[in-house]
């Protein structure tokens, strides 16, 4: 009973000794998350601006995503003087609409236009929509589902005509570019294609304009650096400071064994990690609800991503606690822990930047927490999560064995 009480006392004492700093850390993460979410509305507005800037021709055309409407968009165009109507051309391949205007044909049957357009360069599907002169906007429902959310290509163009639909004269044309693969056309993708940014974010194909892509780039990409540095500071001094100050002898003078001391202290850190993960799930989903983006980001998406972050935390915890028992000097323990941590970051970056050395990225534990795949695609990489779990268990056992067998007075 005494040993059991001592074990619980160690668990509570370790937790109680750190709770103030830990509480401040969680409060700081809440502020950081709030700041990240406060930026998103402005970033989201850039979607429509980027599309509008990507279009050109005789008629000004813009495509904007309707807020909180998933894959629904609104296509708008400016009035063309003297036009009796407009033809909107929708295609998944680029069509040189300016050629139609340049032909100077004054008797186009708009119903036959859909058959004519696919004969131009490209072999994609083409749809045309005819509108009267008073209409300069149309709602496009389910565009994401039709063309696919990731890197989809869809082109829109507007032709102004005079006369009747069966015998029209094409007067104006707007030649469009790819209007939905925004990241590939705007300044954000130029930034994302930068090898150093790609190495940090993990992917250049993330759509930063979407809420999920935005959170991956702005939140999850910095999560390992932000949280891991905090836990590096906490874990690396778990035992070496007490050995350095000779207070470990006092602790071990109780009926508590070395094994129980190590296990209970380890479990106290696991409990803190779980509290941190739960707090992040709450904070992130509160931000999602505040933006009204529940349709795009579910609670399950957030919970799945953060829960699968735990094996990575435990891996870092494992090698830090191992470093804390292999030496009596805190400076050496911190040097080993930070050296391994930033060394793995360096190896991952080199492995991403160099195809010849791509194998190096597999030596970094951070590589195996693929938040892009987990959060955006909803796919769990069980192999990677399994490797992290095995690594964390192995490091825990190694630390326990060293702590039990080494001469603490050395």
Residue 107 · residue 167 · CB < 8 Å: yes
Final residue of a structural domain among 117, 149, 178? 178
Q: Which of 50, 81, 82, 58 is CA-nearest to residue 158? A: 58
What CA–CA distance (Å, rounded) separates 27 from 55? 45
Same domain? For 335 and 400 the reply is yes
Same domain? For 328 and 251 the reply is yes
**pLDDT (0 to 100) of residue 297:** 93
Indicate the pLDDT class of residue 360, thresholds 50, 70 and 90: very high
**pLDDT (0 to 100) of residue 407:** 75
Q: What is the pLDDT of residues 317-359, one digit of tens each?
A: 898 888 888 888 888 888 888 888 889 888 888 887 788 898 9
CA 376 to chain centre: 7
Q: What is the pLDDT of residues 145-155, one digit of tens each?
A: 666 654 456 77
Within a domain: residue 329? Answer: yes
The residue range of the domain holding 131 is 56-178
**pLDDT (0 to 100) of residue 243:** 76
Indicate the pLDDT class of residue 391, thresholds 50, 70 and 90: very high
Within a domain: residue 83? Answer: yes
Q: What is the mean pLDDT of residues 61-71?
A: 64
Q: Quick check: 227 pLDDT over 70?
A: yes
Same domain? For 326 and 260 the reply is yes
The encoded tokens of residue 62 equal: 């813009």
Same domain? For 35 and 93 the reply is no
Q: Quick check: 206 pLDDT over 60?
A: yes
Within a domain: residue 320? Answer: yes
The encoded tokens of residue 198 equal: 């790609």
**pLDDT (0 to 100) of residue 381:** 94
Other C-beta atoms closer than 10 Å to the C-beta of 84 total 16
Indicate the pLDDT class of residue 180, thresholds 50, 70 and 90: very low
Same domain? For 33 and 69 the reply is no
How many CA within 13 A on the CB side of residue 163?
14
Q: Which residues are CB-neighbours of 76 under 8 A, at least 6 positions away?
A: 61, 62, 63, 64, 136, 137
Within a domain: residue 50? Answer: no
Same domain? For 23 and 119 the reply is no
Phi (first) and psi of residue 191, to 5 degrees? -70, -45
The strand pairing partners of 65, in sequence order, are 73
Whichever domain contains 163, its CATH number is 2.60.40.10
Same domain? For 137 and 272 the reply is no
Within a domain: residue 64? Answer: yes
Same domain? For 207 and 154 the reply is no
Higher pLDDT: 206 or 188? It is 206
Final residue of a structural domain among 178, 203, 221? 178
Q: What is the mean pLDDT of residues 200-220?
A: 72
Indicate the pLDDT class of residue 274, thresholds 50, 70 and 90: very high
Q: What is the mean pLDDT of residues 264-276?
A: 89
Within a domain: residue 105? Answer: yes
Asked which of 23-37, 115-129, 374-388 is least confident by mean pLDDT, the reply is 115-129
Residue 361 · residue 348 · CB < 8 Å: yes
Contacts 24+ apart (CB under 8 A), 22-27: 22/272, 22/275, 25/230, 25/276, 26/275, 26/276, 26/279
Same domain? For 134 and 221 the reply is no
**pLDDT (0 to 100) of residue 120:** 54
Give the 3-state secondary structure of residue 129: strand
Contacts 24+ apart (CB under 8 A), 214-220: 214/40, 214/43, 214/44, 215/36, 215/284, 215/297, 215/375, 216/371, 216/372, 216/375, 216/376, 217/192, 218/36, 218/39, 219/33, 219/36, 219/284, 220/305, 220/371, 220/375
Same domain? For 208 and 109 the reply is no
Within a domain: residue 51? Answer: no
In the chain, what is the greatest distance between 2 CA atoms, to the nearest angstrom? 101
**pLDDT (0 to 100) of residue 130:** 84
Q: Quick check: 30 pLDDT over 60?
A: yes
Q: Quick check: 99 pLDDT over 50?
A: yes
**pLDDT (0 to 100) of residue 304:** 96
Give the 3-state secondary structure of residue 195: helix
Asked which of 54-68, 176-190, 294-308 is least confident by mean pLDDT, the reply is 176-190
Residue 212 · residue 296 · CB < 8 Å: yes
Q: How far apart are the first and last CA of the chain?
A: 32
Within a domain: residue 27? Answer: yes
**pLDDT (0 to 100) of residue 94:** 66
Q: What is the pLDDT of residues 231-264, one digit of tens each?
A: 888 777 778 777 777 777 777 777 778 888 889 8
Same domain? For 37 and 67 the reply is no
Q: What is the pLDDT of residues 155-169, one digit of tens each?
A: 777 777 777 766 566
Asked which of 62-66, 190-194, 383-387 is least confident by mean pLDDT, the reply is 190-194
* Number of independent structural domains in the chain: 2
Mean residue pLDDT across the chain: 77
Asked which of 175-189, 289-303, 364-378 is least confident by mean pLDDT, the reply is 175-189
Final residue of a structural domain among 153, 178, 203? 178
Q: Quick check: 186 pLDDT over 80?
A: no
Same domain? For 272 and 379 the reply is yes
């Amino acid at each position: 009973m005494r040993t059991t009480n001592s074990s619980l006392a160690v668990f509570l004492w370790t937790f109680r000794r750190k709770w103030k700093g830990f509480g401040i850390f969680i409060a700081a993460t809440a502020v950081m998350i709030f700041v990240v979410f406060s930026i998103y509305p402005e970033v989201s507005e850039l979607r429509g601006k980027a599309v509008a800037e990507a279009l050109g021709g005789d008629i000004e055309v813009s495509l904007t995503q309707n807020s909180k409407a998933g894959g629904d968009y609104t296509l708008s165009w400016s009035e063309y003087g003297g036009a009796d109507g407009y033809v909107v051309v929708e295609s998944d391949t680029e069509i040189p609409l300016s050629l139609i205007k340049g032909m100077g044909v004054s008797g186009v049957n708009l119903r036959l236009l859909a058959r004519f357009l696919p004969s131009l360069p490209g072999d994609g599907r083409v749809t045309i929509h005819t509108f009267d002169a008073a209409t300069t906007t149309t709602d496009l429902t389910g565009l994401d589902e039709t063309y696919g959310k990731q890197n989809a290509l869809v082109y829109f163009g507007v032709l102004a005509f005079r006369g009747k639909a069966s015998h029209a004269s094409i007067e104006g044309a707007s030649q469009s570019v790819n209007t939905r693969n925004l990241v590939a056309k705007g300044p954000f993708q130029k930034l994302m294609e930068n090898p150093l940014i790609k190495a940090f974010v993990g992917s250049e194909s993330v759509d930063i304009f979407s809420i999920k892509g935005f959170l991956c780039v702005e939140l999850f990409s910095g999560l390992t650096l932000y949280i891991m540095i905090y836990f590096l500071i906490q874990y690396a001094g778990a035992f070496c400071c007490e050995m350095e100050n000779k207070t470990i002898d006092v602790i071990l003078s109780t009926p508590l064994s070395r094994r129980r001391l190590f296990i209970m202290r380890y479990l106290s850190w696991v409990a803190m990690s779980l509290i941190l993960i739960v707090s992040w799930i709450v904070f992130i989903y509160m931000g999602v609800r505040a933006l009204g983006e529940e349709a795009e980001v579910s609670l399950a998406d957030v919970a799945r991503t953060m829960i699968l972050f735990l094996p990575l935390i435990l891996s870092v915890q494992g090698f830090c606690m191992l470093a804390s028992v292999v030496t009596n000097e805190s400076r050496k323990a911190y040097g080993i822990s930070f050296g391994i941590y930033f060394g793995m970051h360096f190896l991952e970056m080199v492995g991403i930047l160099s195809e010849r050395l791509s194998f190096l990225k597999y030596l970094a534990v951070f590589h195996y927490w693929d938040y892009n795949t987990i959060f955006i695609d909803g796919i769990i990489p069980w192999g990677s999560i399994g490797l992290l779990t095995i690594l964390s268990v192995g490091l825990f056992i190694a630390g326990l064995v060293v702590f039990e067998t080494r001469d603490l007075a050395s």
